[in-house]
Chain A
Amino acid sequence: RKEVEQDPGPFNVPEGATVAFNCTYSNSASQSFFWYRQDCRKEPKLLMSVYSSGNEDGRFTAQLNRASQYISLLIRDSKLSDSATYLCVVHMDSNYQLIWGAGTKLIIKP
């Protein structure tokens, strides 16, 4: 089982719709969680950190479920500019490493 798994997609979603995708992680000792966004042929950039209590940033909401070992990202009122690959990242203090998922590709259609 991969350490961090994501549905690769692509998710084809009409503009204005709400879309959600999950990421599962295998190591229960994981301590920090992030969503990064990567546009085509560009570098990854931090979208948001994921806190235990869940957090929201505008149209984006991130949730953490430690019991089931997954994190989720919800995008409301999707825009064409949201088209990108969304990378789930998990971190453990014990080994200083960030473990990256392969990403979920999102395509917003007009």
Chain B
Amino acid sequence: DTAVSQTPKYLVTQMGNDKSIKCEQNLGHDTMYWYKQDSKKFLKIMFSYNNKELIINETVPNRFSPKSPDKAHLNLHINSLELGDSAVYFCASSQDLGGRTEAFFGQGTRLTVV
């Protein structure tokens, strides 16, 4: 019974395309996140939502737009994909906004832009 699930697991697409990654958590958590892990393995926060409201929006190109239809879902839509967008994107959730409690991660979406 997967706690945080994201789809697809792999995504290969051409430059200029628009794509979405979906994320759902069944833990009843209030806070959800999108992280990007690049080839150097740094995990960088992109967005944080708490009860469907955007809390953190790091310096991310506005081609990236998160959408939270309810607190159990946080989807990521990416417009006009670029080569530099290739990375692993992780969705995560935690009980509280503060980050004091454990963050649970989805299995990641490996995006390759060609």
Contact = CB atoms under 8 A, between A and B. Distances in A.
A102 B41 contact: yes
B51 to A, nearest CB: 13
A102 B39 CA distance: 11
Chain B interface residue bracket vs A: 20 to 34
Given A91-B98, A96-B56, A96-B97, A46 B42 contact: no
A46 B93 CA distance: 12
A32 B55 CA distance: 19
A59 interface: no
A44 B43 contact: yes
A91 B44 CA distance: 13
A91 B107 contact: no
Contact of A42 (B45, B99, B103, B107): B107
Nearest to A31: B100
A97 interface: yes
A80 interface: no
A32 B99 CA distance: 8
A87 interface: yes
B99 A100 contact: no
The SS class assigned to the A binding surface is strand
The SS class assigned to the B binding surface is loop
Contacts of B42: 100, 102
Interface string A88-106: 0001010111101011000
B34 interface: no
A93 B55 CA distance: 13
Interface string B24-60: 0000000000000000111111001000000110000
Nearest to A34: B102
A43 interface: yes
Interface of B: 40-45, 48, 55-56, 90, 97-100, 102-103, 105-108
Interface of A: 32, 34, 41-46, 85, 87, 91, 93, 95-98, 100, 102-103
7 contacts: A32-B100, A34-B102, A43-B107, A96-B48, A100-B42, A102-B42, A103-B41
